[in-house]
Structure 1
Amino acid sequence: MKLNISCLQMDITFGDPQANFETANRMIMDACLSGSDIIVLPELWTTGYDLQNLPQLANIQEAISFLQDSAVKNDIHIIGGSVANQNGQDIYNSMPILAKDGQLIHTYSKLHLFKLMDEHLYLKDGHDTGLFSLEDRTFAGVICYDIRFPEWIRRHVLEGAEVLFVSAEWPLKRLDHWRALLIARAIENQCYIVACNRSGSDPNNQFAGHSMIIDPWGQVIAEAGLGEQILQAEIDLDQVQQVRKTIPIFLDRKPDFY
């Protein structure tokens, strides 16, 4: 099964949801002209890391409505990056997953909060996995800092995930870590990695861009640069099982020892 994937490497406008909806709409329309099956957005794409103002800016329903309309209008599945999701007094960093018929099929809230960017001061951690199904295949979504926890990624793969979608706002000063971690996660889990980072900067950070699509051998199929762009590539899900049969690491695991 082949899928055409587009990562929308947005330059997010800090604290301005309306500007970011306009950017996302433009990039979605451009990606759809190239026949995308799945579109992936970056982390906190409606607000950026304007954490102090999230109580006023958080509106996941507005984002979901926008993504539902985009999915139906363009006949595409959407991995909705992440948006601020307020539930009572708590705010989560949540990834909505939309099928092409507009159905909200899953929402994953970031498990690992990144203290170096003060997430723990403003956000609550989630308590659910990122597993979901599209086209009768199993996928998973995680958010940024999650990729530093291989045991969390492995859990999703053991439960059937063939593609791991990553949405991020990863800083430029740790670009080498971004590339190395994503390639390692692909190799050790024998799955596709589709990672959508943001470009540009906010008052505190310069971001790395370099969205990546990596195959189950760890080969980089496509990689963006620093600036705003749409990264596109075709993936073949049948390759996942081919790689897993060639080097059967899941059969050779010794879970009694770890």
Structure 2
Amino acid sequence: MITVAVGQLRPHIAQPQQALAAVERAARSASSTGADLLIVPETFLSGYAIGRAAAQRLAEPVDGEMASAVARIARRSSIAVVYGFAERGSDQKIYNAASFVSETGEHLAVHRKLHLFQSVDAEQFSPGHDRPPVVAWNGWNVGLAICYDIEFPETVRMLAEDGADLICTPTANMVGFEQVSRLIVPARAYESQLYIAYANYCGADETFSYAGTSVIASPTGDLCAAASPDAEEILTADLDRATLEEARRNLTYLTDRRLDLYGHGTAPG
């Protein structure tokens, strides 16, 4: 069993030091409750709707100064952290990315958002092109997705095919799209028999009001934890491997798919 924490936090637009301080507070709080892993929202280190010029200015490589700062936070609080940031790739393109850092500060994985959400993403970022990562950590296979990615069943299927037990999902979901937390995230967890931790903003910036309602969803389709629409909160949930294994025995969507009829993919296992 592992304990996962979701940090539902207010945005800090183009204020990376304030964002880092908020990550540290959330890490300390989550660690004090016994959590092993903390997820914070999409592009949290820069803010989400910051515009192309600010994204260019604040973007860093995956091993940049901000990444080193988060690694220090993870070590100090003895908690793994998944966080969103604006990544400057070696190709000099700017990506909406999420990084997974272990409790010892080791960089484990990075994911570039595949599905850009309307003009707000397209004006700031280039789309990722790589299959989402799944990495082994503390006896669990952990995958990464970002916001709009999780709304596509194909993304979750890819991660499930690659063995994910848990998908960590930093997000910046706006007011008006609350059905994503209420309906889509639990459905994705149920239909692919895995856990999903969905970490959203609350409050507002100059462009958007955010929906809050962060959730941790079970492979049974139930919510292990759910946040309010408008307050900063640290959600925690114990993720049980027995629940995961029972769901995989009883729900056979992945093995019953007709891949000969509807697309390319691989059967699990």
- Preserved contact between residue 186 and residue 216 of structure 1 (Cα < 8 Å): yes
Q: Give the residue type in structure 1 aligned to 2:45.
A: T
- Structure-2 residue corresponding to 1:3: 2
- Structure-2 residue corresponding to 1:250: 254
Distance 2:247 2:139 in 1: 20
| Structure 1 segment 104-119 matched on structure 2, within 5 A | 104-117=107-120, 119=121
Check if 1:196 corresponds to 2:199.
yes
- Preserved contact between residue 193 and residue 251 of structure 2 (Cα < 8 Å): no
- Structure-1 residue corresponding to 2:35: 36
Q: Secondary structure at the match of 1:171?
A: coil
- Among 211, 214, 227, the alignment partner of 1:211 is 214
Shift of 1:250: 2.4
| Structure 1 segment 1-258 matched on structure 2, within 5 A | 2-48=1-47, 49-52=49-52, 53-60=54-61, 61-80=64-83, 82-87=84-89, 88-117=91-120, 119-128=121-130, 129-225=132-228, 226-258=230-262
Shift of 1:165: 1.2
* Deviation string, structure 1 residues 125-164 (Cα, Å, up to 9, x no partner): 1122232221232121100010121012101101111111
Q: Give the residue type in structure 2 aligned to 1:243.
A: A
* Deviation string, structure 1 residues 79-106 (Cα, Å, up to 9, x no partner): 12x1001135310111111112211011
Distance 2:29 2:41 in 1: 16
Q: Secondary structure at the match of 1:255?
A: coil
Distance 2:29 2:140 in 1: 26
Distance 1:22 1:103 in 2: 20
- Preserved contact between residue 170 and residue 178 of structure 1 (Cα < 8 Å): no
Q: Secondary structure at the match of 1:122?
A: coil
Q: Secondary structure at the match of 2:256?
A: coil
* Deviation string, structure 1 residues 172-229 (Cα, Å, up to 9, x no partner): 1111233211011011111111111111111111001111011111011110112111
- Number of paired residues? 255
* Deviation string, structure 1 residues 3-58 (Cα, Å, up to 9, x no partner): 11111111012111111111121121111111111111110111212123111122
Distance 1:103 1:254 in 2: 40
| TM norm structure 2 | 0.90
Q: Give the residue type in structure 2 aligned to 1:51.
A: G
Shift of 1:116: 4.2
Distance 1:198 1:62 in 2: 23
Shift of 1:237: 2.3
